[in-house]
Chain A
C-alpha cells in the first residue's frame, strides 16, 4: 500500500504509444507463471531429474490423487490437531505466566528469571530428551509445539503489560477503578496489540516445531507423508507437503491479522483501512 503510494507518486515516463496493460494483481502473477513454465519445460527436456525435483504437472497430479484418496485430508487433520493442541497449551500457559510476571514484582522474580534462561535454549534441540521423556507418540510432538510457541506469547504479553502507558493507569486510578477493573479495562486492552504480535510469532514457531516433530517416528501427519514419500523418491509428494505447510502458515497469519483488525479497530491506521 505504502509502496503503491510511493510508486504512483513518481512521475510516469512519457508513454510513446499506449500498450495493453494488465491489472496490477495479474501483473504480479506474470513472473511466477513464467518460472513455472520454464520449470516444466526444463523437466520435460530432461534438464531437471524428477528424482531431484518433480515437474509442476506431476506435483499437481499427485495433489489431486492425494485429495481423491483422502490421504492428504487425513494427514492434514492429524497435523492440525497437533498444532491446535500445542498452541492451545502454549496460549494458556504463556498468558498465565505473563499475567503473573507482568502484574506483580514477586511474580516477575519467580517466573521471569527461569523463563529467560530456558528461552536461550533452542527448543528444537530438546527433541532427543522429549523422546526419552514422552516416547514416540503424540505427546512429544505436541510438547515441542507447546514449548516453542509459549515463549513468544509470554514475552510479548509481559512486555505489553509493562508497556501500558502509566498516565492512563493513573487517570483510571483517579476515576476510582478497582484493581480488577484496572486490569480488565486498562492493562489488558493496553497489552493486547503486543499480545497479538506474540501470537503471530507463536504461530510461526508452532509450524516450525511441527515440521521437526513430525519427522520423528510419526505414523500420520503432513510431515510423515513427506518422510514416507522420501523412501520412494516421490519428490512430487514432498513438494505437495511443502506447499501445504506454506498455505497453512499463510492462513494462520491471515487469521491473526483478521483478529487484529477486529480487536484493534480503535487504532486510527486501521480505522482508515476499514472506512
Chain B
C-alpha cells in the first residue's frame, strides 16, 4: 500500500487486502504504547541508497515537548512520518501511543470542504461539530469556520490544521515544521499559541524544526539528528512562559547552533 516513494497509493483502494486496511499495515509494526510516550530502538530506514535513519534510538517521555532539529535532508520528516504510521518500520522497534495527530508543513486541508468540515472529518464520538467548533475557537479561528480553505491565509490554514489535530485529543502530536512557511510575525504568534495549547493539553509533542529559537522557546528538550542518529541532546530547563532573551536562552541557542554546525554569528564552522 505504501508505494516506492512512500506516498499512499490510492490507486489500490478497492483491491482486496490493500486499501485503507493496508494503509494501516504500517501501524501493526508500531507497537502500541499504553503510556503516552515514544520509544524507538535501532530504527533504520533507507530509500534505496544509504540509510537515512541508521539504528536510531530515541525516547520521548509522556507529556514531553521534544524538538527535533537537523539540517535539511537529515531525515527529520522521515522519522516523523514513521511515527505517524505513514512510513513502514523496516528495521528496528517503534512504540508509540495509538492516538496520534499530525500537522504537516503544508496545511493539507481538503479544499472542497469548508474549514469546519475539514476539522470534523473522520472525527468519531459524541458531538463532533461542537468539539470542532471549540477547537477552532481555541486556535482563534471561530470566525472562519465557514470559509473555504483556499481563501485562508497561510497562518489561518496552519491554525485550521492545528485545530484538526487537537480536536482528536491526541496522545502524541507530531508537528513537521508547521511554521516554516509563515512570515516572521505570524510565526511568533503561532509559537506563542502552541506553547499555550500545550500547557493546556499536555500531550506528548514532537516538533520538527530547523529553527533553533523555536526549539529553545517551546521544547523541554531538543535533539539534533545527524547521519541518521540522534547526535546531540540538549535539555531546556527554562521557565515558562519564555521569551527570546536572557543569558540562558542565548547559551542554549549557541549550543544547538553549534551542534548544527553553525557559529553564533551565522558562519559555517570549518569542517
Contact = CB atoms under 8 A, between A and B. Distances in A.
Interface stretch (A19-27, A50-58, A164-172, A230-238): A164-172
Contacts of A164: 10
Interface in B1-60: 7-15, 19-21, 23
A256 B197 CA distance: 46
A177 B8 CA distance: 13
Interface string A99-121: 01011111110000000000000
A100 to B, nearest CB: 7
Contacts of A252: none
Interface string B103-126: 010101011110000000111100
A13 B270 CA distance: 64
Counting chain B CB atoms within 10 Å of each CB, which of A185, A265, A267 scores highest?
A185
Contact of B121 (A162, A167, A170, A172): A172
Nearest to B102: A174
B148 interface: yes
A23 B152 CA distance: 38
Interface in B68-115: 84-86, 100-102, 104, 106, 108, 110-113
Given A179-B19, A268-B151, A185 B113 contact: yes
Interface stretch (A70-78, A186-194, A206-214): A186-194
A187 B108 CA distance: 14
Contacts of B121: 172, 175, 177, 181, 185
A264 B10 CA distance: 22
A41 interface: no
Given A171-B108, A175-B122, A266-B112, A103 B148 contact: no
B7 A166 contact: yes
A164 B11 CA distance: 10
A107 B86 CA distance: 25
12 contacts: A104-B11, A161-B10, A166-B7, A167-B104, A170-B108, A175-B122, A179-B19, A181-B121, A187-B10, A264-B112, A265-B148, A267-B111
Contacts of A181: 121-122
A178 interface: yes
Dominant SS among interface residues on chain A: helix
A103 B108 contact: no
Contacts of A185: 110, 113, 121
Counting chain A CB atoms within 10 Å of each CB, which of B7, B108, B112, B122 scores highest?
B112
Given A178-B20, A185-B110, 8 more contacts: A107-B14, A167-B7, A169-B7, A179-B20, A182-B13, A183-B13, A190-B112, A266-B113
Contacts of B15: 104-106
Given A102-B11, A103-B10, A271-B151, A172 B122 contact: yes
B150 interface: yes
Interface in A129-160: none
Nearest to A177: B122
A179 B110 contact: no
A173 interface: yes
Interface of B: 7-15, 19-21, 23, 84-86, 100-102, 104, 106, 108, 110-113, 121-124, 148-151, 164, 168
A169 to B, nearest CB: 5
A105 B122 contact: no
A182 B111 CA distance: 14
A107 to B, nearest CB: 7
A126 to B, nearest CB: 31
Given A103-B14, A182-B10, A170 B86 contact: yes
A174 B10 contact: no
B13 A179 contact: yes
B112 A174 contact: no
Nearest to B114: A266
A162 B7 CA distance: 13
Given A171-B104, A266-B112, A176 B14 contact: no
State the 8 A-B residue pairs at the shortest beta-carbon distance, nearest first.
Answer: A179-B20, A171-B108, A104-B14, A175-B122, A103-B14, A166-B7, A189-B112, A177-B122
Contact of B21 (A106, A172, A179, A266): A179
A72 B108 CA distance: 53
B101 to A, nearest CB: 7
Contact of A167 (B20, B106, B112, B149): B106
